[in-house]
Amino acid sequence: MLYNNKSTHQHADHHCHDSCQNITHNHAHNSLHARNINKNHQSNLGRENHDHIQTQTNDLDPPPDEPDQQSPTVKLTWKIQGMDCAHCAQKIENGIKTLPDINQIKMTFSTGKLMVFVPNKNKEIIKLIEDKVVELGYTPIFESSPNHHHEHSHSLDKKALLPLVTLGILIVISYIILLINHDIGKYAFIVTAIIGIIPIAKEAITLTRSGTPFAIETLMSISAIGALFIGAAEEATMVIFLFMIGEMLEGIASNKAKKGISSLVELMPEETVIVVDGNRKTVASHSLKPDDIIEISSGGRLPADVILISEQASIDESALTGESIPVNYLYGDKILAGSLVVDNTIQLKVVSETGQNAVDRILQLIEDAEERKAPIERFIDRFSRYYTPAIALLSLLVMVIPPLLIQTDWYTWIYRGLTLLLIGCPCALVISTPAVITSALSSAAKYGVLIKGGAALEHIGSIKMIAFDKTGTLTEGKPQVTDVINRDITTEHLLTVVAAVESGSHHPLAKAILDYAKQNKIVFTEANNRKAIAGVGIQGDINQETFYVVAPNRLDTLSTQLPQEDAQLIQQLETEGKTVVVVVSHQKLLGIIALQDVLRQDAVSALNQLHQLGLKTLMLTGDNERAAKAIAQQLNIDYRAELLPADKLNEIEKISTTTAIAMVGDGINDSPAMKAATVGIAMGSGTDVALETADAALTKNSLLSLPKLIRLTRFANRNIKQNITIALGIKLIFLITSLFGITGLWLAVLADSGTTAIVTANALRLLKLKK
C-alpha cells in the first residue's frame, strides 16, 4: 500500500513544497521514466527512498557481443542465405576466424545475420569475407545500413533442388541399366555416386581447411568413398541421395523456425512519406531521424517509435503485443514502431534513433539471446565437440580391430565402421536446444513477453516462487478516491469545496481528488487564500468562508471533535489500508474522503492462475503492516511489509539460497532485488529501461502475461528434454544396431537427417502454443 500512518500527517504540510514538486512533476511528465520518477515523487507518502539504487543500475554487466572498446572497430553486417541449422552458423564463424584483420565475429542463426568487427572498412576486407562465405556454400548479402531489413530468403531454393533432382534421375537410370545388365549397372551406380559425392567432398575439404574437420559433409564423404571401395556402390549412392533429402527437410524445418523472427523484420516498411515545410516526399525508412514529421495512411505501418501529432488515431498493435483490439491514441501519445494505422491518415513525429526503435530492440534481444546460452545448451556444445571425434575413433577401431584380432572378413567390419561414422554427426543434438529457444523467444514476443536468451528461459521454467513489488506492479501506482462520505452537505457540494481548496496542487493525494472531481463533472474554481498549515493540512476561502482539508488525527489543532460514529468509520477505512482526509468548516465535520492505491484490474486473475500453476507468491513492500495486509488479503498472497530497499534485497537473497525465485518489479527502482533473484522480470513498454536490467519483460504491462510466460517456459524446458532424449536415444539405438550389423549405411544416414528434422519439428510446436 502506497500510504502508511505518516501519510495523514504529511498531507498537512505538502503544499509548502508545491513549487518544487511542480518542477518534479513536469520533469516526470516529460521523462521516459515518468512512472519511476513519479514513484519517488510520492515518497513522502510512505514509499521508501530509492536514491541510492540509481547508482546501482550502472553496475550492469556489459553486453556480451561488444568488441574491445580500446581499439577502434567497424561493424560489417551481412544477411546469410542457405543456413540449415545452428551448426551452419558455427561453420561460418570458424571459417572467418581464419581470415586476417578480424577483431570479432558474431553469427546469429535465428536471424541469419553475420556481424564482423574489423579495424577499418574497405572493399578488400568485405570481398575477403564474402568470398569465404561463398566458399563455405552460403550466400552473403551485405547490409549497407543498420536498418536494412529486406528479406531475400526463400524456404526452398530452386538451385538447392537441382543437384537432388539430377541425382534422383541418375539413380533411376542406373537402376534400369542394372536390371538390363548387372555389370554395366554397377558401373553406372559408381559413376552416379561419384557425381553425387563431388560437391559434398569439395565442401568437406573447404570446411576442414576452415577449422571444422568433423562436419557431417566430411563424415558423409568418408562413408560414401569407403562404400565405393568395398563394392557397395548402390548403397553409397542411396546414402548421398538420402543425405540430400535430409538436408532439404532440415532447411524447410529451420526456415519455419525462423519465420517468427522474420515476421518481426517484415513489420518495418521500406519507405515512408516525410513532410518538410508542408511538402511530402518518399524516403527510405532507415534515413529517418528524431524530430522528422512523417505521414502514414490507413493500413500503413510505423517505421519508427513516434509521438502522435494528429488529434487521435486508432492503432493495431497486435504484431507487437498480441492485443487484437485496436488502441485509441490521442495527441502527444507515444506509439511503437511496427504498429499498424487502422483508420485515417495521420501525422507523427519520429522520436527513435536509426536502429533503436521497438522492433530493432526486440530483434537485438533475440540476437543477443544466442550469446546468453542456456546451461544445458552450453553443456551440449561442449559434449558435441568431443562426441564426433570419439565416434570417428570408434569407427576406425571397429574397422581394424575385429579383422586383426579374430580374423573375420574385412568387408563386414569396414562396412559397419562406415555406418558408425554416419552416426557421428551431432547435428540433431546441437540443434535440439537452439531450435526450441528460437521458437520460444519468437512465440513469447508475439504475445508481449521478451525473454533475454536461453539461460533466462531455462531459469524461468524452473522457478517455484514469484516475489512482487507492490506499488506499480500489483497496484496502479497512484492513489484513487475510493470513498466519499458527506455530512450535512451534498456529495456534489463536498467535492466542489475540496477540489477548490486542492486546486493547483501537484501532491498525489490532491491530484487524485481533483481527477475524481473532474470525472464526476464537478465545476469549481480555485479557492482564495490557499495555504498550508504546517503539520495540519491545507485551507482555502470560498465565498468568505474558510474550509480545511486535514488529516483526522490533526483535528484537535482546529478545536474540532469527531463524533464517535465517524471516528469508528475512519478507523475502519484506515484498517482497510486507505488514507483518509476530512473536510471541516467552523469546527464542524462536512465530509470524509478515503483514497487508496488500487489493485491492477488483472492482478487477482493473474495471481489465481499462478497459484493454479503451483507457484508460491510473495509481496515485498515498504508500506506499513496495515496497508500491506489489506492488499495481501485481496490477492491471497504472503507479504513482507515496512521493508527498505536493502531489506528487499536481503529477503530475496535469503529465499534464493533454497528456492528458485523470480522478482517482478516495474523497472529501475526494483533492480537490486531483481538482480539478486534467480530471474528478474520487468513490467514495462518495449522501450522501457526495464528491458536492460531484467531477464524478461512483460511489454504489454499486464500481469496476465506472467502465467503465459510460465506456461511457455515450462513447455520449452520439457521440449528441450524431449529433443535431447530423441537425439541421443536414436543415436544410441543405431550405434548398437550398426555395431551388430543389423542396420546399414542408408538407414544410418536416414536416422541422422530424420532425427534432425524430428527435433526441429518438435521445437516448432512452441510456435503453435495457444496464447
Residue 352 DSSP class: S
Q: Are 292 and 349 in contact (CB under 8 A)?
A: yes
Average pLDDT over residues 606-611: 95
The one-letter amino acid code at 106 reads: K
Length of the chain equals 771
Q: Are 445 and 559 in contact (CB under 8 A)?
A: no
- pLDDT band, very low/low/confident/very high, at 148 (cuts 50, 70, 90): very low
pLDDT at position 374, please?
62
pLDDT at position 669, please?
57
Q: Are 273 and 296 in contact (CB under 8 A)?
A: yes
Among 18, 122, 35, 20, smallest CA distance to 665 is for 35
Check pLDDT > 70 for residue 371. Answer: no
DSSP secondary structure string, 367-393?
HHHTTS--HHHHHHHHHHHHHHHHHHH
Torsion of CA 502, 627, 598, 33, to 10 degrees: 80
Least confident residue range of 250-254, 582-586, 744-748: 250-254
- The percentage of the chain sitting over the pLDDT mark of 70, rounded to a whole number, equals 79
Contacts of 146 (CB under 8 A, 6+ apart): 77, 286, 354, 355
Catalytic residue check, 469? yes
What number of other Cβ atoms are within 10 A of residue 231's Cβ? 13
Q: Are 542 and 532 in contact (CB under 8 A)?
A: no
C-alpha cell of 493?
457540494
Among 137, 140, 119, smallest CA distance to 129 is for 140
Phi then psi for 271, rounded to 5 degrees? -130, 155
Distance CA 213, CA 260 (A): 32
pLDDT at position 434, please?
74
**More reliable by pLDDT, 492 or 255:** 492
Residue 360 DSSP class: H
pLDDT at position 325, please?
62
Chain-centroid distance, C-alpha 204: 37
pLDDT at position 695, please?
83
pLDDT at position 655, please?
93
The one-letter amino acid code at 536 reads: V
Among 498, 645, 641, 623, smallest CA distance to 6 is for 623
Question: Beta 579-585 vs 465-469: how paired, if at all?
Answer: unpaired
Least confident residue range of 2-16, 238-252, 441-455, 563-577: 2-16
Least confident residue range of 61-65, 365-369, 683-687: 61-65
pLDDT at position 643, please?
81
Average pLDDT over residues 554-559: 81
Check pLDDT > 80 for residue 71. Answer: no
Q: Are 260 and 303 in contact (CB under 8 A)?
A: no
Among 138, 164, 162, smallest CA distance to 245 is for 164
Check pLDDT > 50 for residue 707. Answer: yes
What number of other Cβ atoms are within 10 A of residue 631's Cβ? 27
Distance CA 563, CA 588 (A): 10
**More reliable by pLDDT, 593 or 648:** 593
Residue 67 DSSP class: P
Does the pTM surpass 0.85? The reply is no
Q: Kind and range of the H or E element at 667?
A: none
Q: Is 535 left (phi over 0), alpha (psi -120 to 50) or beta?
A: left
Among 250, 258, 251, smallest CA distance to 367 is for 258
Q: Exactly one of 84, 469, 623, 752 is catalytic; which is it?
A: 469
Average pLDDT over residues 633-650: 86
Phi then psi for 694, rounded to 5 degrees? -100, 165
Give residue for cell 580500446.
70
pLDDT, averaged across the chain: 78
Average pLDDT over residues 468-474: 85
Q: Are 88 and 139 in contact (CB under 8 A)?
A: no
Distance CA 118, CA 490 (A): 76
Give residue for cell 494528429.
310
Distance CA 97, CA 667 (A): 39
Distance CA 386, CA 352 (A): 46
Q: Are 467 and 673 in contact (CB under 8 A)?
A: yes
Average pLDDT over residues 385-411: 86
Average pLDDT over residues 256-274: 72
Distance CA 211, CA 91 (A): 8
Angle between helices 233-265 and 358-369 (to 10 degrees): 150
Q: Are 760 and 436 in contact (CB under 8 A)?
A: no
